[in-house]
Amino acid sequence: MSPVQRAGEGLVPVEPVASVPAVKPVRRLNPRKLLLSKWTATEPRHKEKHFLVTRVIEPDPPQGRIELIELQAVHSGRSTTLAWRELTDPLRWHQGWR
C-alpha cells in the first residue's frame, strides 16, 4: 500500500520522504561536573563499551583549565586518560549507559 494524499476529487500519490539520520547537537559539558559520570562508546573495543569517569585531572597551575580526565572501563577495569572534550563527539560517545 503506497501513501496517498487527498487533493480535491482524486487521490495523488505522495513520494516517501527519505529518513535522515538524526545527529544530536554537540553536548555542552562542564569538566568539573564529569566525575563519576557514565559513558557508552559507540564502537566498543576489547569488549569495553561502558565507562565511568574516575578522575578529573587538575592542571598544574590551579588557575589553568581542566583538559584531561581518566576513564575506567567497567568490564575490565582498565583506565585511560583522554581530553574531556572528546566526550562531546556524538559519533564516539553517548552520555549514560545504553
Asked whether residue 78 is assigned to any structural domain, the reply reads yes
Q: Tell me: the pLDDT tens digits for 11-41? A: 666 666 666 556 556 668 899 999 999 999 9
The CA-atom distances, in angstroms, between 59 and each of 37, 49, 64, 68 are 20, 28, 6, 8
β-strands 4-7, 48-57: how paired? unpaired
Fill in the DSSP letter of residue 61.
Answer: S
Give the structural domain span for 91. 34-98
Cα–Cα distance between 40 and 22 in angstroms, integer? 18
Domain count, the chain: 1
Asked whether residue 3 is assigned to any structural domain, the reply reads no
Q: What is the pTM of this model?
A: 0.71
Asked whether residue 17 is assigned to any structural domain, the reply reads no
Cα–Cα distance between 90 and 27 in angstroms, integer? 8
